[in-house]
Structure 1
């Protein structure tokens, strides 16, 4: 049955559409502004304080200087290692933990779940965590210090556990009749049926590793092991662009340094923006699967 829209409904649709378009503009404009400034002439954008609708001049010099910076290239390599290795460790450990907590016949399941949830609200703090990483685990100044202490997120663990509980028990029972053990059930039945939630976990952990800088500031001393976001922080907050501006005068260094900041933001953000659309379709589905049962 087709219902005829009233005039008030049409007015609402118009205002709703205009409001959503306005929200899209104010959300996307900061990205557009950074891109525009990064390809503009550095001497022309310094005195400009208004809206940047079109590039002022055109120059790729900032990107060339960024890519010539050895710190950027080495930090890119470190970040890619952290994202790939760290995400694999995170997803594997979270899957195993969620599988254990989803077993109905596991004797201490409730007690263990309470203890794990307790860590969401209370932690030892930064200093005990620092001492644990350096003095007990001896992971100081290694990339493992950025991966192993946070191998499992409690929030992600609970989401994946809820997803595993929603899988019918009949599938596992039939597998056990055929002689499958718990490891085979996890990797041959549970995980293949949980691709949407695995995609969500990969997105959560991958973006977390890509954006992380605080732990690296605490635990990494060797500059060659700095991740990309820590280098980006130095460039944006500490204004450390002298290594990329060469022998330019102080005024030119300041002007070029501003363009380098914008270019570095684009270089550090672009990979996530490119990858996200390919797994975004799994995001909502995976989150809803984890929200059906509690």
Structure 2
């Protein structure tokens, strides 16, 4: 199936490693992805999380864009309630000016953290009406005159950059907002699989080009999927236990950094291999993983897939990216 493949990076920190080492590994992976032919590379935004170094999203994007030549680089996403919309427009307009308009701006309404941290970060409202209005203003700041639509404020640095905006979501609510705004929709199916089919249906049915925020002429769905590719199914399944342990920790309220892989049988009875949050995954040899990716893409008629690969050893992640690219492209 010939649809684009992209990469979603949370800059995970393996146990015994540092944030600096993980950022360095992420930048090496970015350069590799650029050479391999992946469509885009997006960085997440998370806060107060021990095992992830993806917090200052715009800084990671700038570093990755500087280390690459072709691949689009963006946010997956900016959690808009944590930020002043004008500041986001200025940051991403600056990035677009610096990096030849290869910048994407994915926006979400969730805070990407716990309630206490969200209160410390809060800068704008998460309600749908405010979210939509903020997007409309940002589009004005990215437009030819760099002027917001609802307030008389201008941004010279973002004017004319036309940074494409995506709406991120994991439920029918997010899908409906994306459709009504006429924007591409990025579905967080890699950790929220319960409403996938319904969300895609709602997005396509609610999609309109009549909204003043509309940027595309027809619906466009990019869906997330967990991926681990190795030379054999057995080795891929073993490496994937690092992800399974991470989700077990989340379920138990744990805060460990990414753990080394273990024998998959040791997770039996703990809910590791059967964790419902990991249902949308492609794990195995290049052939096995490609078949699973194709099956998922066909199931929801995806226009693009964005892959999420955690690995305790950065070399294992790079090997997975390379094997998948060779099989897919």
State the TM-score, normalizing by the size of structure 2.
Answer: 0.19
Structure with the greater relative contact order (CA < 8 A, sep ≥ 6): 1 or 2?
Answer: 1
Between Structure 1 and Structure 2, which shows a larger proportion of strand residues?
A: 2
Between Structure 1 and Structure 2, which shows a larger proportion of helix residues?
A: 1
- Structure with max Cα Rg: 1
